[in-house]
Amino acid sequence: MSEFVTVAKVEEIPPGTGKTVDVNGIWIALFNVDGAFYAVDNTCPHAGGPLGEGHLDGHVVECPWHGWKFNVCTGERSGNPNFTVECCQVRIEGHFVQVAPPANWK
């Protein structure tokens, strides 16, 4: 069973931005979409680009390496849902953002 881990303060990630966080060696891309937080695997399925460093436009992040776009709410690639990134549970506890990476993530 996955456990929630505190990864950031809410105010560290303003709406419209993202951040890469390390949870026990697992890199997760965390985003604030108009006040709602979402988290996905940080590794782009194209060639491993860091999605947490990509530009966020609404609920879509653009990979900084070659421009693939992903819906951070569903993990689907825009225009081609055959490519996805896995989503991760997120919750807010007080002023902190917590994530719970699935147990099978490495």
Q: Which of residues 38-67 bind ligand FES (CB under 6 A)?
A: 44, 46-49, 63, 65-67
Could you tell me which residues are beta bridge partners of residue 81? Answer: none
Q: Tell me the per-residue interface mask from 3 to 42 with ligand FES, x by CB under 6 A, - otherwise.
A: ----------------------------------------
Catalog residues that contact ligand FES under the rule CB under 6 A: 44, 46-49, 63, 65-68
